[in-house]
Amino acid sequence: VRLVMDCAHYRHFAEIPSPLWKLAFVLMATACCLLLLLTFFLAFTGFRLFILRIRSVVAICGVAQAFSSLFVLLSCLLYAAGWRANPDVAQVCGNNADAFNLGHCHLGWAYVLTCAGGFLCAVTVAFPVQIAKHFP
């Protein structure tokens, strides 16, 4: 067994062949950073109700979650749209691969679960709003 340290498909951001994939990467990274900051904020406040009852805190958390869910869902759409005229996709999936049509390839569970996570994140945006209404 030999450990290879430099085996990434795209070593640099500039090597990503599709501009849509580049935009999807930036949106997904932004969404992950927003959700990570939101999670750490909630963890460091200890989920204290006196902090979470402040309307501006609820609004900021809701807006951050809404933007992150939008970014995740957009990155999923842009990833699928980036299959068109992509030499890497054509090489692996065949020449009949196009946007939203993978040809001989199949979508993996990572893509499906990412789309589902973005949808669930969008649905749960309403929770902080409901909490703010019930606890004035």
pLDDT tens string for the chain (136 positions)?
Answer: 666 666 667 778 888 888 999 999 999 999 999 999 998 988 888 777 777 777 788 888 889 999 999 999 999 999 999 988 788 888 888 888 888 888 888 889 999 999 999 999 999 888 766 766 666 6
Give the model's pLDDT for residue 73.
Answer: 97
> Which SS3 state, helix, strand or coil, does residue 101 take?
strand
- pLDDT score at 93: 86
pLDDT of residue 136: 60
Q: At 6, list the tokens.
A: 């430099």
67's tokens: 């933007």
DSSP H stretches of helix in 82-125: 87-93, 109-123
> Which sequence spans correspond to the domains of the chain?
21-37+52-134
